[in-house]
Structure 1
Amino acid sequence: MIHVLELVVFGLFPILVAFGAATDFLTMTLPNRLTFGLFALGAVALAIAAPGWESVGWHVAAAAVCFACGFGLFAMGWVGGGDVKFATAIALWLGWGNLLDFALAFSIWGGVLTVAALAGDRLLAPVPALKVGFLADFSRHRHVPYGVALAVAALQIFPATPWFARLIG
């Protein structure tokens, strides 16, 4: 039987990730409070439910690899710092075994989002009032809220995690 604390901690992950997607879509920012909250909840989840130190190490390794790759992309100006922190916090939750699936999924969703933004910008050009969220400035800046793609990928991969199995079961 799942403990109430586990239910709260594991149930908050998808809620916070979805909140991150909505916030990034509307404001093009991922608040540090949200990212650090995901990190803290991930640490609590690992403390209460990880099968051992080896498992904790693999989750931390996944986050470290994600951060290193993300930092490289940030240094080249391809993604924002908030995206890197958000992806790293998600990687801590998903762990090493799901890291490649997560990377593939957010790459695909990022491409879909970019194509949709380009199409939306062109289609909505005659009616600027319909451009909401990041689309309002997309014509000038050409920035995409990659947190949306990260969140969709995280929610897609989350059911494959032991956290989800404990949550439903």
Structure 2
Amino acid sequence: MLEALIFVVFPFCMVFAMVSDLLSMTIANRVSAILVVSFVIVSPFAGMDLFTISGHFAAAIVVLCVTFALFAAGVMGGGDAKLLASTALWMGPSVVLMEYLTYGAIFGGTITLAILMYRGSVVAAYSGHNIFLRNLADEKAGIPYGIALGAAGLYVYPSTSLVQTVLDRVVTG
């Protein structure tokens, strides 16, 4: 059961956030809530002690404070800020969190440049009515950064301590 939660919940939430942001330019609060609640449930069963769990929460709070300031400045969407913080909870204060933030920035910059080039192209005028492309073609819409955050989360997730702990259990029996 623990293995299923760790291998399914986080990746599902990342994919859901990506698709949701692409289609509606929003990331539902329930995605972040599911990530937080499921972390609280699985972390003790994965062998994390209270000190380690507290470190994960501290990392999430720091990320939330920074992203909330970016949201208040109008630089970041609220859903993106909450997704970053709830994802940081799963990463904890580790190199994996730094990798996640770095890849999120790299993927986000690449996606932003690609969307801006697409919006300025003739192709956007013809394909902009497609349900999957309409928000990408709309010059008044923001950038669905949840795509980059979800992709970065999926990319680094196998390196997290939770996944490594479960893989060790599965391999050693």
| Normalised TM-score (structure 1) | 0.89
Mapping of 1:38-117 within 5 angstroms?
38-97=35-94, 98-117=96-115
Q: Specify the SS of the correspondent of 2:17.
A: helix
Mapping of 1:1-169 within 5 angstroms?
4=1, 6-11=2-7, 12-97=9-94, 98-123=96-121, 124-127=123-126, 128-130=128-130, 132-137=133-138, 139-141=139-141, 143-168=142-167, 169=170
Gaps of 5+ in 1: none
Query: In angstroms, what is the RMSD of aligned CA positions?
Result: 1.6
**Counterpart AA for 1:148:** I
- The answer to whether the 8 A contact 1:91-1:99 is kept is yes
> CA deviation digits over 1:95-133, x for unaligned, max 9?
110221111111111101101101111232341335724
Q: 1:159 to 1:133 in 2, by over 3 A?
A: farther
The size of the alignment, in residue pairs, is: 163
In the aligned structure 2, how far is the partner of 1:41 from the partner of 1:113?
Answer: 29
| Normalised TM-score (structure 2) | 0.87
Gaps of 5+ in 2: none
- The answer to whether the 8 A contact 2:125-2:137 is kept is no
How big is the shift at 1:43?
1.0
In the aligned structure 2, how far is the partner of 1:126 from the partner of 1:74?
Answer: 31
How big is the shift at 1:149?
0.9
In the aligned structure 2, how far is the partner of 1:25 from the partner of 1:58?
Answer: 32
**Counterpart AA for 1:55:** T
| Worse overlay, 66-75 or 122-131 | 122-131
Q: Specify the SS of the correspondent of 1:145.
A: coil
How big is the shift at 1:13?
0.9
Q: Specify the SS of the correspondent of 1:30.
A: coil
In the aligned structure 2, how far is the partner of 1:20 from the partner of 1:41?
Answer: 16
| Worse overlay, 7-16 or 61-70 | 7-16
In the aligned structure 2, how far is the partner of 1:31 from the partner of 1:95?
Answer: 22
